[in-house]
Amino acid sequence: MLPVVVELVKFLTDPPRFLFFTGKGGVGKTSIACAAAIRLAALGKRVLLVSTDPASNVGQVFGLTIGNTITDIAAVEGLSALEINPDQAAEDYRERIIGPVRGLLPEQELRAITEQLSGSCTTEIASFNEFTELLTDSDGPMRQFDHVLFDTAPTGHTIRLLQLPGSWTDFLDAGKGDASCLGPLSGLEKQRALYAGAVAALADPQRTRLVLVARAQRSTLAEITRTHHELAAIGLTHQYVVINGVLPAAAATDDPLAEAIYRREQRAIADLSDELRALPMDLVDLKATNIVGLEALASLFSREPGSPDPAEDVALDVADAPLSALVDELASGEHGLIMCMGKGGVGKTTIAAAIAVALANRGHLVHLTTTDPAGHLTDTLHGTLDNLHVSSIDPTEATRAYREHVLATKGAALDDRGRMMLEEDLQSPCTEEVAVFQAFSRAIGESRHKFVVVDTAPTGHTLLLLDATGSYHREVARQLGDRHFTTPLMRLQDPALTKVIIVTLAETTPVLEAAGLARELERADIHPWAWVINNSLAAARPTSPVLRRRAIAEVPEINTVRADQAGRVAVVPLLATEPVGIPALSALTASRVG
């Protein structure tokens, strides 16, 4: 049995069957969820850990290939894991629809059906169906588990997932469901019951508990405040708060950087909203080493920070890796698309905003936008700047505009009955995916005459958006044949038009995930232009033993990126104050770091 060193944490006191872990990307949801699963298993419970993140790294944590089937974790008795893989779920979903008619329909018609079911809407529905079955299966494989823990995608994607049971239930109850979105009509009654059961399970505090995970940072605490309100509005009121990676007071002595971080974190905690203060709350200390491996996970909830070795030295030369060097090269052009991609919580918004501000300061016209449902660029900028236009591809607004456009064009020539049917079709939750893609496509088009800097959603959500871009390209190619055309995907694939910047942290999991993202992009013939290693402790050279030990662990990760992943690399040090506001963002690219 794996030894578990743990203090009592509130969110694991009398836990219900379902626990959801959500929060802004990079706050440690996976570590908290995995540590909780290990703790419950150590108490003799049968536990299933489920990842609903399209960019899941649960398999990496346990050193196993998990995938779309329930897999026992041999090193932890009583623990199993499952990753809802969107691509595999979508493939299985397509096969359930196409398989019965294969051999009965002409090949051309089968190809058309397959193409119709290849978009991001199908991927969303397929993943969602698997999610709802886990919540409602009382007689199948799920009955063996005492607890099911969901390690979810970053906040915006999770809110969308948890809203879907109600969205699809409303859509079906209104009689608007059809085979184009949900599959064969014969299955709609079963799906209606399934979705209604999921709604009931999510809203029942005896069965479901929401754990809002944050760091002691202004932005992530503001994020879970918004999440608290949005989830409470759809009936998910049984919530707990975990603030992860809090620097202990004992680790903040005799080091100006550590002291500044400690004061900043304590101030953020002191400024918590009344709504969050009213919820049960746990603080989890920052450990001297990264939370990698079963032993580290088993002791995550302890108050022991580890045993940092202050004698080791940090040998890292970052003088030749300033963010300003990348900006110099970008600014040599007159326009183009710049996309900042990566795992949630690595600082994509900060890096995207800093690049946009730097280009605008140099006299270029710049449009800074975000595709992140939980993105808040205005919180980072805290001001305006000549030449800089800021926007957000808001799913709600994009969907409203798309519906109005379709009704004004396609609906103009329809009779009353036809227009009513069109309006019903446009109420489908799938409409949002199409609307967001079209808004994204318009931003790409703008880059022909100005700089467009895109702060993308966390990795998994971005890959789904790129999947929609690929589906649109294939449909245009099929319809136009040999005629000349240019699609958004073709612009993304052109290195003269698009510069993809992968943002990461100098830690094992973020670097592995960033490398995986780079491979996915290469498969789509989209070539990363540069990497930015953000918030580097090694570059900041702390003297606090805890921070120094973590800095030492960064060195091999930085060297791996430099050697194996990127020709262009910038290393941005962790700062004593958060880079919020245009002056602070300008400082990130104004001079070399060292």
pLDDT single digits (tens) 570-588? 999 998 888 888 998 998 8
Active site residue 287: no
421, 441 contact by CB (below 8 A): no
The reply to whether 53 belongs to the active site is yes
Contacts of 380 (CB under 8 A, 6+ apart): 219, 349, 350, 353, 580, 585
The answer to whether 48 and 147 are in contact (CB under 8 A) is: yes
Kindly tell me the sign of the dihedral angle through the C-alpha atoms of 163, 166, 170, 176.
positive
Domain 323-398+440-588: CATH superfamily, name plus number = P-loop containing nucleotide triphosphate hydrolases (3.40.50.300)
pLDDT at 184 over 60: no
- Interatomic CA distance for residues 593 and 584, integer angstroms: 14
**Of 488, 564, 501, the residue nearest 527 (C-alpha):** 501
Assess whether 28 carries a catalytic annotation.
yes
Q: Residue 369, SS3?
A: strand
Total count of residues recorded for the chain: 594
pLDDT digits (tens, 9 = 90+) for 201-224: 777 888 889 899 999 988 888 888
d(CA 557, CA 560) in angstroms, rounded, equals 5
Q: HSE (CB half, 13 Å, CA atoms) of 369? A: 20
Catalytic residue (choose from 22, 23, 31, 459): 31
Considering the candidates 56, 118, 370, 509, report the single residue annotated as catalytic. Answer: 509
Secondary structure, 3-state, 271-331: CCCHHHHCCCEEEEECCCCCCCCHHHHHCCCCCCCCCCCCCCCCCCCCCCCCHHHHHHHHH
* pLDDT confidence bin for 504, thresholds 50/70/90: very high
Domain boundaries, given as residue ranges, for the chain: 10-298, 323-398+440-588
Mean pLDDT of 304-325: 60
- Cβ-in-10-Å burial (0-12, 13-18, 19+) of 224 comes to buried
**Given a cut of 80, is residue 157 above it in pLDDT?**
no
What does the DSSP 8-state code read for residue 562?
Answer: I
Please give the DSSP secondary-structure letter assigned to residue 497. Answer: T
CA pair distance 360, 330, nearest whole angstrom: 12
| DSSP secondary structure letter of residue 374 | T
The residue annotated as part of the active site, out of 23, 25, 28, 183, is 28
Q: Is 186 marked active-site?
A: no
Q: Which residues pair with 148 in a beta bridge?
A: 18, 48
Residue 366 DSSP SS3: strand
The dihedral region occupied by 183, where left means phi > 0, alpha psi between -120 and 50, and beta the remainder, is left
For residue 205, the one-letter residue type is P
Q: Report which DSSP code applies to 503.
A: E
Q: Tell me the pLDDT band of 179, cut-offs 50, 70 and 90.
A: very low
From the CB of residue 381, how many other CB atoms can be counted at a distance below 10 Å?
A: 20
The CA distance from 397 to 392, in Å, is: 10
Q: List the catalytic residue out of 22, 23, 25, 53.
A: 53
The per-residue DSSP string of 164-218 comes to HHHHHHHHHHTT---HHHHS-GGGHHHHHHHHHHHHHHHH-TTTEEEEEEEESSH
Query: Is 499 part of the annotated catalytic residue set?
Result: no
State percent of the chain over pLDDT 70.
76
Say how far apart CA 201 and CA 288 lie, in whole Å. 39
- Residue 424: CB atoms within 10 A of its CB come to 15
Report the C-alpha gap between 64 and 60 in whole angstroms.
6
List the structure tokens of 174. Answer: 């209104």
174: confidence class by pLDDT, cuts 50, 70, 90? low
Q: Residues 106-127: pLDDT tens digits?
A: 887 777 777 666 665 666 667 6
Query: Using one digit for the tens of pLDDT, what is the confidence trace for 364-374?
Result: 999 998 877 65
Exactly one of 24, 25, 29, 56 is catalytic; name it: 29
CA atoms of 377 and 493, how far apart (whole Å): 26
Annotated catalytic residue within 22, 23, 25, 26:
26
Catalytic residue among 22, 30, 370, 487: 30
Query: Residue 220: phi, psi to the nearest 5?
Result: -75, -30
* Nearest by Cα to 515 from 341, 287, 398: 341
Which of 80-84, 457-461, 565-569 shows the highest mean pLDDT?
A: 80-84
| pTM, to two decimals | 0.74
Give me 39's structure tokens: 């703790």
Distance CA 573, CA 542 (A): 11
Query: For residue 251, which of 272, 265, 270 has the smallest C-alpha distance?
Result: 265
- Between CA 474 and CA 41 the distance in angstroms is 47
In this model, does residue 168 exceed pLDDT 70?
Answer: no
Q: How far apart are the first and last CA of the chain?
A: 46
CATH architecture entry for 10-298? 3-Layer(aba) Sandwich (3.40)
CB environment 290-318: b (16+ within 10 A), e (fewer): bbbebebbbbbbeeebbebeeeeebebeb
E strand or H helix that includes residue 62 = helix 58-62
